[in-house]
Amino acid sequence: MITVQRSSSGSSHSPRSSSSQPYLSISVTEPVKLGNGVQAYISYRVITKTNFPEYQGPEKIVIRRYSDFVWLRDRLFEKYKGVFIPPLPEKSTVEKFRFSAEFIELRRQALDIFVNRIASHHELQQSEDLRTFLQADEETMERLRSQETGIFKKKPADLMQIFKEMQTRVSDVVLGKEKPVEESNPEYEKLKNYIFELENHLSEAQKHAYRLVKRHKELGQSLSDFGKAAKLLGACEGHALGKAFSDLGTKSETLSVRLQKEAHQLLMNFEEPLKDYVRAVQSIKATIAERANAFRHQCELAETIKLKEINLDKLMLTRSDKVGEAELEYKELKAESEEATRRFENIVRVMNEEIVRFQDQKTQDMGIAFHQFAKGQSRLANNIADAWRSLLPKLEACLS
């Protein structure tokens, strides 16, 4: 839950507001499983606290489900071209884990971060769709959600197609092949390359982070098994030695529990932020695709206009009676072209701002994640050291 100010800098770390300062603060809570069988889903309680005048009141509680969040994301993506829309957690493909406690908690956390990022973005926070999402009743929401077909909904397949085209275009440029409908902006090229490479690096890092979580679980399990075996061996031996084994066994089991806890923390506070980073980069790729579309549209219109101009001149020379019609068409096209150019230039402008914001935010996000990671590891190691050390006095006594 991030308390935010309505500010032009788009900073997400404003101080806690007093009542005079504008604030919009949201929590996504209480996941509840609803429905049956294949139709089962999780619903969340979304609590909004705000003093923005556009909102219905200081507090509002609604019930939302994952696809409602998807609707919001898609609407924002359509309306705010150029903005790096905050990423959503993935849809779960594996049935088994869809309702596991860990998955539900991870998703809840990610959804909470999602809406709050929107609420702290100077442009997005003013979105009407956001207001709808935070305030509308469930029937309205359901209606809106089911309307989302075709135009706004970016199917995963479409996105994949766009990315594929993107990648070929990027590599073509890299290879020196010329494609006519491509921006020839070296800085922008650099940015695109950066984004693509960044995704590779981050995916690898996230993969290893996930493995590290697994390793903690495995070490915990093996310590538990070892502890049990030590206790049984101790029962065999008896006397001081038996007690020593038994103590060791107990300590091992304690540490096993500790390791499982740390594995969970690692998952929530280190692996998840890395995953989130990857998602953010993927969201940027979608924006890059949008920009490419806008640029292409602008170019196509410019081409069309040129042809129309030539045609018009021809008609005018021949004093054709089609001149009037053609002139009208030409005017319309000109207006369209100007609009397309405006839209494209807006995307460029917004993206330039967004990239600064993105880098700042990611440094913050990762800084926090690194801090949590290091603290967690350090605490864990200290716990482990303390636990083993506590066995030493007795062992020393036995040996003397």
Residue 375 engages other proteins in binding (rule: CB under 8 A): yes
**Residues from 72 through 111 that contact other proteins (CB under 8 A):** none
Instruction: Between 229 and 307, name the residue whose CB sits nearer to other proteins.
Output: 229
CA 74-80-82 angle, 5° bins: 110
Instruction: Between 244 and 340, name the residue whose CB sits nearer to other proteins.
Output: 244
Choose, by CB under 8 A, the member of 160, 181, 241, 328 that binds other proteins: 241
Instruction: Between 239 and 319, name the residue whose CB sits nearer to other proteins.
Output: 239
**Residues from 183 through 202 that contact other proteins (CB under 8 A):** 190, 194, 197-198, 201-202
Instruction: Between 66 and 210, name the residue whose CB sits nearer to other proteins.
Output: 210
Q: Residue 124 in contact with residue 350, Cβ under 8 Å?
A: no
Measured distance CA(38)–CA(332) in Å, rounded? 51
Measured distance CA(236)–CA(219) in Å, rounded? 26
**Pattern 271-310, binding to other proteins, x per CB under 8 A?**
----------------------------------------
Choose, by CB under 8 A, the member of 50, 229, 293, 306 that binds other proteins: 229
Phi-psi region of 82 (alpha: psi -120 to 50; beta: other; left: phi over 0): left
Coil vs helix vs strand at 64: strand
Cross-sheet strand order for the sheet of 59-65: 24-34, 41-50, 59-65
Instruction: Between 155 and 371, name the residue whose CB sits nearer to other proteins.
Output: 371
DSSP string, 264-286: HHHIIIIIHHHHHHHHHHHHHHH
Choose, by CB under 8 A, the member of 83, 104, 230, 289 that binds other proteins: 230
The beta-strand segments (E) located in the chain are: 24-34, 41-50, 59-65
Residue 257 engages other proteins in binding (rule: CB under 8 A): no
Coil vs helix vs strand at 193: helix
Measured distance CA(2)–CA(23) in Å, rounded? 10
Taking alpha carbons only, the member of 151, 12, 2, 1 closest to residue 71 is: 151
Instruction: Between 33 and 207, name the residue whose CB sits nearer to other proteins.
Output: 207
Residue 359 engages other proteins in binding (rule: CB under 8 A): yes
Coil vs helix vs strand at 49: strand
Residues forming the site for other proteins (CB under 8 A): 1-3, 13, 16, 190, 194, 197-198, 201-202, 204-205, 208-209, 211-212, 214-216, 218-219, 221-223, 225-226, 228-230, 232-233, 235-237, 240-241, 244-245, 248, 356, 359-360, 362-364, 366-368, 370-371, 373-375, 377-378, 381-382, 384-385, 388-389, 391-392, 395-396, 398-400
